Amino acid sequence: MDNPRFTFTIEAQDTSSRARKARLLTPHGSIETPVFMPVGTKGTVKGLLPEQLTSLGAQIILANTYHLSLRPGSELIADYGGLHSFMNWQRPILTDSGGFQIFSLADTLKVSDDGVSFASILDGSRHHWTPEDNMRIQGQLGSDIIMQLDQCTSYPCDKTVVSEAVRRSAAWASRCRIAQKDPSKALFAIVQGGVFADLRLESIERLLEIDAQVGCFEGFGIGGYSVGEPHDMLLESLSYVARELPQDRPRYLMGVGNPTTLLRSIALGVDMFDCVLPTRTARMGTAFSSEGKLNLRNARFTRDSSPLDPQCTCPTCSGYTRAYIRHLVLSKEILASVLLSIHNLHYLTDLMTQAREAIVAGAYTSFLGKWEESRASRDF
Q: How far apart are CA 190 and CA 203, in angstroms?
A: 9
| Cα dihedral: 4, 92, 105, 253 (round 10) | 70
Three-state SS at 185: coil
Among candidate residues 150, 211, 271, 274, the one labeled active-site is 274
**Active-site annotation holds for 274:** yes
Contacts of 361 (CB under 8 A, 6+ apart): none
Sign of the dihedral defined by the CA atoms of residues 277, 279, 284, 290, in that order: positive
Question: From the CA atom positions of the chain, what is the Rg in Å?
Answer: 20
Q: Alpha-carbon distance 144 to 141, whole Å?
A: 9
Beta strands (DSSP E) in the chain are: 7-13, 20-26, 29-33, 35-37, 61-64, 93-96, 110-111, 116-119, 126-129, 145-147, 186-191, 219-222, 251-253, 272-274, 286-287, 294-295
Which of 14, 96, 150, 211 does the annotation list as catalytic? 96
d(CA 132, CA 176): 6
Distances in Å between the Cα of 140 and the Cα atoms of 125, 135, 137, 189 are 21, 9, 5, 19
Number of other residues whose CB lies within 10 A of the CB of residue 148: 31
Q: How many CA atoms lie within 13 A of 30 on its CB side?
A: 11
Residue 147's Cβ-count burial label (10 Å; 0-12, 13-18, 19+) is buried
Q: CA nearest 252: which of 31, 82, 14?
A: 31
Please tell me the distance from the alpha carbon of residue 43 to that of residue 60, in angstroms, as a whole number.
Answer: 13
Measure the CA–CA gap between 129 and 136, rounded to whole angstroms.
Answer: 10
Cβ count near 190 (within 10 Å): 29
User: Would you name the residues annotated as active-site residues?
Assistant: 96, 274
